[in-house]
Every structure is written in C-alpha cells, then in structure tokens.
Amino acid sequence: MDKHLIVALMCCLFVVGCKDDFKDPSIWNFKPCDPSKPVEFTDFTPKEGGVRTRMYITGSNFGTDESKIHVTIGGHKAPVIASDGSKIHCMLPARAYDGDIKVAIDDKDGNVVTEYTFEERFSYQSQVVVGTLLRNYNSQTGAAPFQDGAFADGAGVPASDWMVFDPKPDNGDKVIFTSNFSGGSEGIRMINLTKQEVKTIYAGSRSPKMQTFTFSADGDTLLITDDNGRGTKGDITMPNIHYLLRSEGFQKLRTYSYSSCTYGLVYMPDGTIFFATYPNASIMKLVRNSGVPIIDGSATVCFDFLRSAGRQVKMRRIRVENSFIYSAVTRVAFIKVNMILWLKCLTALHLWRDLHWPDRQRK
C-alpha cells in the first residue's frame, strides 16, 4: 500500500479518535459570552459520580473561552476543559461531598456577567483509592526501618501485624493503631493521619506470638491476644490476653487473663469477651470469676469448629455483626456462626458493630 495513503488514513483516524462533543481547540475561535444577551442554564449530566468524572453543563450564551467560565462543585474548583457556547465540559474535583454546583461567567474584561447555582445537587460518590501512605526506604542499602516522626521527615512503618482505628482519638483526629510483635522493633504505634505523624506508644512485646488486638467498648483499654503455646483447654499457666490503658498513655503492659492460646477477640458493650483459641478451633467465652487478671480455668466453649472441619485450625480474626460471629480461619474460608445456637454463652444481645479491622483480611 502506498505510504502516502497510510499516512492519510492515520491522520483521519487521529481526527476521528480525538473528536468529542467539541471542536478541535487548535482551530477554535475563542469568544466570551455576549453580555447583551441572557445566559441560560438548563441542566447538568451526569447526576452522580466520583472524582475526575466528566460533567457537562448545558444552556446558552456561555461563550467559547473556558478561561472566562468558572465552575465549583461542592465548594471545590472544577477544571473547565472546553465550551462550545451551549455546553460546558468540566471535570469533577476531589472531595466534592456537598454536591452544590455553581457557575460564574465573565465577560472579555473579566467582569462577572452572571452567577448561577443549580437547585439540584450532584451526588458525589467516594472512590476507593489505593496508594502509599508513608514509606521510609533506602534504595542503596535496602533498609526500611521503623521510624517515628512526621511523614515528610521520613517516618516509616515497614511492617504491620494488625491495625485498628482509635475509637476515641484526641481532637477528633483520625488515628490508626498498628502492631509489630516479631522481626525486630516490636511494639505498638500510632499513625495519626490528621497530623501525618508516627509515634511509638509501647516498645517491645511480652511474647513474640502476641496476635491481634482491639479496644474495649468504652475505648479506654487496648486488649492484645497471645498465642502462648498452651494448646489445652483450661490451661491457666500462661497469659492469653494483655492490656494497655489510655489513662497511662498505653505505656504499661499488664496481664488481663490466663487461658489457652488466643488469636482474636471481641469485646461486647456489657464487658463480655469472646476469644478464638486453638484447641478444637473453638470460640470461647471468658468467665469473669475474679478481678484482673482473670484466671479462666472453666474454658466455656461457645462453638467448636473442629466438629465441622475435622481438623485443627487457627481462627485468627473474629468479628461480630448483627446476630452472627464471623471468623477467618487458617486454610479455611470464612465461617458464619448463628449466635442463636449458643445464646447460653451470651449475657447481652446488643452487639458491638464498630469493631474495626482491615478489609484486606477479609478473604
């Protein structure tokens, strides 16, 4: 085929592919609106979407000079891409939660000709965006150390065994508690997303097999489970749950209870604690027969997964929602246990719905 014909076809494809609802900007005759005529606003589309959604505002006498057209959505400036006089093409900005759409049209001298606010609001849809929160990595040495301080100053949390949002943060800050109980630099840290800083609140660990953690219902106590190696029900020779107090700045680790090895727990509003243990892959109810530390030798079993699975498994994460307990088990999919089957183990039917844990663990 003649090379000139190929080039011509490619040019045609380029023109067709780039053609949108507007003319080619390179040949556009940019004109502001006509101040002697009314500027009318008809509608906008789409009605909902997330950041970077293309929006089209229709009407008349907008002018074709996008520099004279100003659009804000939810109080944030929306980039105006083009206008053909009857349709404005703009892009939805981030965090436009309020959804109010305001348009201002200027004349050629930059004076405001008209301002208009649509009665109908745009429905902003938040989108899940995955990115790097903080990173401290030396490409030459390969080192990625834990480091407290501001994100901008190189703070780093290279590993995390567990994460929980703080239910009672100071000043309404968004704070994540994260743990690392093995591999060096063990401890519990606070990642303040509002202030963008990392702080170690407890250095070290009582056991290299400390597992998940959660807050008490009032948010003042942090309870940490421990795979203490005791695989017999009723074994009370080693701690299975530790705790830290907010009133002490989460600085002093104490023993909360003694029982068999524990991987996950839930704390009910009335103070009842259920925990997952290795023997027979059971969900247990902690019996409060004394003050803290609790010596739980009764080993009250609420659910025995081994009877269903026929194997020893580790239930590392348990979570309460509505009338069900959910548990993630090693090499086994999620199980859902109807709590009506073991109401004898419950002291209250009001379940805590705000038990935070990472979505990435829901497998």
Highest-scoring range by mean pLDDT, 68-77, 126-135, 181-190, 250-259:
68-77
- For 221-236, the pLDDT digits (tens) are 999 998 888 878 778 8
Q: State yes or no: pLDDT of 193 exceeds 80.
A: yes
The dihedral through the CA atoms of 321, 324, 329, 334 has a sign that is: negative
Q: What is the dihedral of CA 148, 149, 151, 153, to 10 degrees?
A: -110
- For 282-311, the pLDDT digits (tens) are 788 887 766 788 887 766 777 665 554 444
Q: If DSSP states are collapsed to H, E and C, what string results for 168-218?
A: CCHHHCCEEEEEECCCCCCEEEEEECCCCEEEEEEECCCCCCEEEEEECCC
Highest-scoring range by mean pLDDT, 107-121, 287-301, 330-344:
107-121
CATH 1.10.10.60 assigned to domain 25-124? The reply is: no
pLDDT of res. 273? 86
Least confident of 40-49, 165-174, 337-346: 337-346
- Tell me the pLDDT of the chain averaged across its residues: 77
- Give the confidence band of 272 by pLDDT, cuts at 50, 70, 90: confident
What does the alpha-carbon distance between residue 323 and residue 349 come to, in Å, rounded to a whole number? 8
Beta bridge partners of 55: 90
CATH number of 208-361: 2.120.10.30
Beta bridge partners of 232: none
Q: State yes or no: pLDDT of 335 exceeds 60.
A: no
pLDDT of res. 48? 94
Q: Say if residues 163 and 361 touch (Cβ distance below 8 Å).
A: no
What does the alpha-carbon distance between residue 335 and residue 305 come to, in Å, rounded to a whole number? 9
Q: Where are the domains of the chain?
A: 25-124, 131-205, 208-361
Q: Say if residues 236 and 259 touch (Cβ distance below 8 Å).
A: yes
- For 42-79, the pLDDT digits (tens) are 999 999 999 889 999 999 999 999 999 999 999 999 99
What does the alpha-carbon distance between residue 227 and residue 206 come to, in Å, rounded to a whole number? 11
The whole model's pTM is what?
Answer: 0.56
pLDDT of res. 266? 86
Beta bridge partners of 215: 222
Least confident of 63-72, 90-99, 146-155, 310-319: 310-319
pLDDT of res. 341? 38
Give mean pLDDT, residues 19-40: 71
**327, 316, 330, 322: which is closest to 349 by C-alpha?**
322
- Give the confidence band of 9 by pLDDT, cuts at 50, 70, 90: very low
Least confident of 132-141, 204-213, 249-258, 322-331: 322-331
pLDDT of res. 346? 33
pLDDT of res. 2? 54
Give mean pLDDT, residues 113-142: 84
- Give the confidence band of 337 by pLDDT, cuts at 50, 70, 90: very low
Residue 219 token pair: 């948010």
What does the alpha-carbon distance between residue 53 and residue 45 come to, in Å, rounded to a whole number? 10
pLDDT of res. 283? 80
pLDDT of res. 275? 86
Q: State yes or no: pLDDT of 240 exceeds 60.
A: yes
As a whole-number percent, the residues of the chain with pLDDT over 70 amount to 73
Check for a shared fold between 25-124 and 208-361.
Answer: no
